Amino acid sequence: MNHYQVLIIGGGTAGITVAAQLRKKDKNLQIAIIEPSEKHYYQPAWTLVGAGTFDFKDTEREEKNYIPKNVTWIKDSATDIIPEKNTVKTAENGDIIFDYLVIAPGLVMAPELLPGLTEAMEKDNVCSNYTDPEKTWKVLQNFKGGNAVFTQPTTPIKCGGAPQKIMYLAEDYFRKSDIREKTNVIFATPGTVIFGVPDFAKTLNKIIIDRDIILKTYYAPIKIDGEKQEITFRYINSDIQECAKNLRPSIGEELFGDTEIKIKYDMLHIAPPQQAPAFIRNSEVSLKEGPNKGWVDVDVNTLRHLRFPNIFALGDVAALPTAKTGAAIRKQAPVVSGNILHLIKNGDLDKNIYEGYSSCPLVTGYGKMVLAEFKYNNVRDSDPLISKLVDTSKEQYSMWLLKKYGLPIMYWDMMLKGRA
């Protein structure tokens, strides 16, 4: 069969959750998922893997165990979307026709967008939780002091807080290993602040001061020299005087020209540049211009495509002004599944809308976590029940327990089963 009522591209968090919700609400729908991978990963735990406090094997399960019953699994890769013909092209199964399409393939790592990164990642002192969290743990264990640099690219990335989570855990680990006094912990970000939501930023700024972490804002990485152990940043604030004024010779910062800064590192953790998969970027469904170029063009509240009314997108690939997280998908999936069912049965959209909810469980050390929940425009959106019990804008042991034990159970047993 090459025609389905609902065709879903991607068997990750978003694709499986939407399929499970649709199947629960209507057992007669003809649904298929295009997904080439046999493995499914719980990536939020990779932060903890990188800090030696979670087993990587426990983040990996068989994809076949999570494809909902009576949903067809097309074990293949999508290669193109032809929206005008309601067609998805695949690598091995030819053309597949849909009535409704859900685009949820996630994003891809693009280290090639940062000169020198691919080569540097092969070195023993450069790591990334985004690609190999077990290597991060080895790098932390082998680190003997010096400059520990943590940074992120200017592209959108999944879980925008992850680059600083591993930085807090590493700093805590260096204390426990008695090498903190001979270590400069440097967090360099292209962002203007440590975190966009004021309540959580206040807590994080205090942690940075109290723990003597060197925060560098407006620092956009532009190249890496793995042989020399140097990373070069461009200072992207228009106030160039500020750049020179804030240089720290004590960590070996050097200014080149007006806006380029080199820092030597003894270890480097980096989130690689990230982008939508090539078949999305090349398809009509993506934006071709502007800040969201390459991502899928959807309405920010309904998640319906702005030009093709039988297409929806959610998760990392959607052009939405909020953080790309699994928690965001938990709120997006009911909107997408509800809208599709409503369109099939009534010819119009459901009343449910997505308000930009996302969540960043900010692990700030072993046994400590700030649960940052927010929606569009950086408005705090904390869970009313949890907020009655604890102040989630402060470091809490209970939130650490939630991160390490509660959220994985919620993911595997509830979200992916269409129950949350």
Residue 160, C-beta contacts closer than 8 angstroms, at least 6 positions apart: 152, 323, 324, 360
- The fold adopted by the segment(s) 3-107+276-358+405-417 is FAD/NAD(P)-binding domain (3.50.50)
Backbone angles phi, psi at 238, to 5 degrees: -70, -20
- Burial (CB count <10 Å: 0-12, 13-18, 19+), residue 229: buried
Nearest by Cα to 216 from 248, 250, 239, 188: 188
What pLDDT score was predicted for residue 195?
A: 95
Is the CB of residue 216 less than 8 Å from the CB of residue 188? yes
- Burial (CB count <10 Å: 0-12, 13-18, 19+), residue 89: middle
What pLDDT score was predicted for residue 370?
A: 97
Q: Examine domains 3-107+276-358+405-417 and 111-273 and report if their fold is the same.
A: yes
Residue ranges in the chain modelled with pLDDT below 50: none
Is the CB of residue 143 less than 8 Å from the CB of residue 267? yes
Nearest by Cα to 395 from 419, 372, 420: 372
What pLDDT score was predicted for residue 113?
A: 98
d(CA 130, CA 355): 27
Distinct helix (H) and strand (E) counts, the chain: 12, 23
Q: Residue ranges per domain, the chain? A: 3-107+276-358+405-417, 111-273
Coil, helix or strand at residue 158: strand
Is the CB of residue 18 less than 8 Å from the CB of residue 336? yes
Structure token digits, residue 55? 């087993």
d(CA 413, CA 36): 22
Backbone angles phi, psi at 184, to 5 degrees: -100, 115
User: Residue 239's CB: how many other CB atoms inside 10 A?
Assistant: 9
Is the CB of residue 173 less than 8 Å from the CB of residue 139? no
Torsion, CA 385, CA 391, CA 397, CA 400, rounded to 10: 60
Coil, helix or strand at residue 150: strand
Nearest by Cα to 163 from 181, 186, 182: 186
Is the CB of residue 86 less than 8 Å from the CB of residue 99? yes
Q: pLDDT tens across 384-408, in order?
A: 888 889 999 999 999 999 999 999 9
pTM attached to this predicted model: 0.96
CATH class for domain 111-273?
alpha beta
User: Residue 290's CB: how many other CB atoms inside 10 A?
Assistant: 10
Q: What is the DSSP letter of 402?
A: I
State which H helix or E strand residue 401 sits in.
helix 397-401
How far CA 237 is from CA of 63, 85, 193, 216, 291, in Å, comes to 44, 46, 12, 12, 18
| Average pLDDT of the chain to the nearest whole number | 96
Catalytic residues, by residue number, are 159, 360
State which H helix or E strand residue 208 sits in.
helix 198-210
Length of the chain equals 420
d(CA 268, CA 87): 43
What pLDDT score was predicted for residue 1?
A: 65
What pLDDT score was predicted for residue 229?
A: 98
